[in-house]
Every structure is written in structure tokens, then in C-alpha cells.
A and B are shown apart, each in its own frame.
Chain A
Amino acid sequence: MAEKKMDFESAMARLEEIVKTLERGESSLEESLTLFEEGTGLIKACGKLLDEAEQKVVKLQKGPDGEPVESGFIAEE
């Protein structure tokens, strides 16, 4: 579920929901195991996103057609 274009926000929301469900302890063992697997998968994916994140900084200016045009911005002091 958590591939390249993961929505971090919904991944976190889902993860929180899973942990709460597990903590309520009302689901069957099979369901619990499935949820646990999904949860650890999400944790891994979120962690991976943080590990691999490399901040991109661009300068945006209005192009001749009004559409935004990106150019590199060197943010060194």
C-alpha cells in the first residue's frame, strides 16, 4: 500500500487507527494479525520515507504563459 507516492497523512491516520483497534482487543486473532502486519508495514514505509527524504528547494516564477516555472535555488549562506 505504501509505495512511492504515499500520502503520509493518511498513512499516519491509518496507523493510529490500527493501533487503537489492536489495543481495544475486540477483533479476532486472525484480524489482529492482519492489522498488525498492516501496521508494521505502514511504520516501515513512513520510516523509509523519512530516511530517503532529501529536501528539494526550488524557486518559482511566473512563466510567460502565467504557469509557474521552477528553477533551482541554492540555499547556502
Chain B
Amino acid sequence: MDERVLSVSELNNYIKNVVDADPVLAEVYVRGELSNYKVYPSGHHYFSMKDETGALRCVMFRGSAVRLRFRPENGMKVIAFGRVAVYPRDGVYQLYVNALTPDGVGDLQMAFEQLKEKLYAEGLFDAAHKKPLPRYPMRIAVVTSSAGAAVHDIIRVLRKRWPAAKVLLLPVRVQGAEAPPEIAGAIRYANEHRLADVMIVGRGGGSMEDLWCFNDERVARAIYASEIPVISAVGHEPDVTIADFAADLRAATPSNGAELCVPDQAELREYLDSMEIRAGQALKKSIAARREKLAQLAGRRAMQSPANYIGDRRAQLDALTARLGAGERQSVMKAKERYAALAGKLDAMSPLKVLGRGYAIARKADGTVIRRAADVTKGDKLTVRLRNDELICTAD
């Protein structure tokens, strides 16, 4: 090369061209640990990847960042895929990351654990929040695809066990990006319109990706907020989803969800029969107990010989009457004696009796009784009351 002097920009651009032309650097996987992770308001992510001895500047633009299926955190071991390029303004090279996945576990697994931890901390899985299921639901909402096997499994079991209930299918997609808002929306809709006594939310088996909509935060929150008790019924027995944790009851499969949802009419008929038998026996027992009591009463003297009983009672009555009569006579006699004594006293005090002994009562014309000579003026007319008649006199 000539002794030509380059500008900084010329050198940086030269290096950039060299790097851009390298096929290895155009598509490279890099393993390392995340540090200094920053999400900018623009939506671009800036961070470093490092190992024991080195560090690498990285950037992930918004378009790639929105496709992340987990939340990157500092210290997390990751594998990044991207291309290395030079940033001429700063004279640095960096890794432009297209995809980032956790190292060791899958990104979905990572996302699952992260969401589980977050919602658990928020209390979305609290046992205290779980609602009891109705024993005899009459309206059952089923939130699932109208096309899959799950809906048929559910209806078949419900028809066999509990045909008394009406089944309301709320068809939703159960796969793909549209699924979570549709499922969450159907759960909310059922609540808004009080459509059912209980709800089954689920789908049949599939890969982890297929079942992914039931690991969605929106679905978990809709289940948690549901006033109608929710049974989650996703996939097969070993499949556990976030929806299962948030639901009031987890079923292993859609068929199992239907079984847990309703009573079995065959068992119920047996139960009704047993109730009838119990009621009959209880009534019989109570009648038998009364019959026994009756027999006991019949064993007493009164029932053995009514005539004796009546005789006894009559004697008792006579004795009582006699006592009553004696008492009455006594009290009448006492009253009579008292009357005679009082009458004698009254008679002794009668003024007529006094007049009978020769006394007289003198009154003036106005009827006032004369007690002293001074009460009388000469010429007054006086009436003198004797025992049987009166004298009319004039005072001298």
C-alpha cells in the first residue's frame, strides 16, 4: 500500500467493508452471559455478552426484540444469532442480534418459568382465591375451538353424565397469535353476560408451541378475574400451563374437565334411591318408637282397668267436694256472727234509741239543732222531735 494517509472515516469504512464481506461474520452464533442489558424507549435493546476473558457489544433492534419469547436478564446465559458489523461513527464493531435464546433451556420454557414466577408473586394462583364449583351446574360454558376433538370429548362426557345442563360453546382459536386475546375475550364475555354456572377452558393435546396460548398472561388474568368458576382442561395429563395454575380447578384433559364439571347421573340416581330408603327407614323407626311408647303407657293401671281408674278418681273427687263443703259452711257461719255483733253495736248508737229513753231534739225553723239557750231568740218558733212525733213551740 502507498504511504497514503487515511482519514478516520476512511479507515472505519475500510474495516466495515472487510467485515461485511466476511461470510463467517455475516451469520454467527455466539454463546455468552448477558450484562448491562438496556431497553430503550425506541424499542431497541442494547447489551453486552461476555465470558471469562472477553466482552462483545450487542444491539437488537425493535423488529427482532418483539419476537423475543422470554425476558432477557443480566447474568442469563444465552446464545445470540446475528451478524457482526462495524459502526463507523464510533469505530467499534458489534453484534447485530436477530435472535436470542436462553442457553440450556428452551426459550418457551424460560418464558413459562418467568411468567409463572411473576403471576405467583402477584397472587394469581392463591388457593384462597379459588372458587368452589357448583354441584349441579345447569349452564356450562365451553371455551375452545369448535373444530377440534376437545369439544366433542367434552360434549360426549357431559351428555352421558349430566344431560340436565345446557352447554354453551364459545368458539375461539386455540393456536397462534390470535388465540390468547380470543380466549381471554370469551372468558370476559361469558362473565359480562352471566352465561354459565361454570366454565371449561381448554383444547386437546399438541406441542408446547401449540398449547402456548394457555401460557399467555392475558388468558391467565382473564381466568383469575372470572366470577364464573373456571376449569382448565389443556392437552394431556403431563401438560401443565399457566392457565392451569390460575384456574379454580385443573383437569388433566378436556374429557377429564367435563367429568370434574358435573355430577354423574347414574351415581346421583343411586344417591336419590339411598335417600328414599333412609327417609323411609327413619319414618318407620319413628313410628316404631311411638308404638313402643304407646305400649308402655298401655301397661299402666289406668289403661289396664279403666273402671278402677274411674272409681279411684271418683273417690278422690268426693273427698275434695267434702273438704270444699266444710270450708264453705264454716266461713258462712263466721260471717253471720260478725254481722250480728255489728248490728247490735249500730242499734245501740241509733239516735232513735236515745229519744226512746225520753230525750228530745229541738230545732229552729231552718232545721239547725239548738245546743244552747243562746241559740234561741224570744219568739222563735221551735220544733221539738220526740220519739214518735213532734211538738211546735214558741220561745218566751
Contact = CB atoms under 8 A, between A and B. Distances in A.
B283 A33 contact: yes
B255 to A, nearest CB: 13
Contacts of A29: 286-287, 290
A67 B208 CA distance: 35
Given A22-B286, A75-B152, A62 B189 contact: yes
Interface residues of B, number: 41
Q: Which of B136, B151, B269 has most A Cβ within 10 Å?
A: B136
A69 to B, nearest CB: 11
B320 to A, nearest CB: 34
Contacts of B155: 55, 57, 75
Nearest to A58: B168
A18 B193 contact: no
A57 to B, nearest CB: 4
Main secondary structure of the interface of B (DSSP, over half): helix
Contacts of B189: 62, 68
A2 interface: no
A75 B165 CA distance: 15
Interface of A: 8-9, 12, 15-16, 18-19, 22-23, 25, 27, 29, 32-33, 35-36, 39-40, 43, 46-47, 49-50, 53-62, 67-68, 70, 73, 75, 77
25 contacts: A9-B136, A18-B279, A19-B278, A19-B279, A23-B282, A25-B282, A40-B279, A43-B272, A43-B276, A43-B279, A46-B268, A46-B272, A47-B269, A50-B265, A53-B164, A55-B158, A56-B166, A57-B166, A58-B169, A67-B193, A68-B189, A68-B195, A70-B168, A73-B146, A73-B169
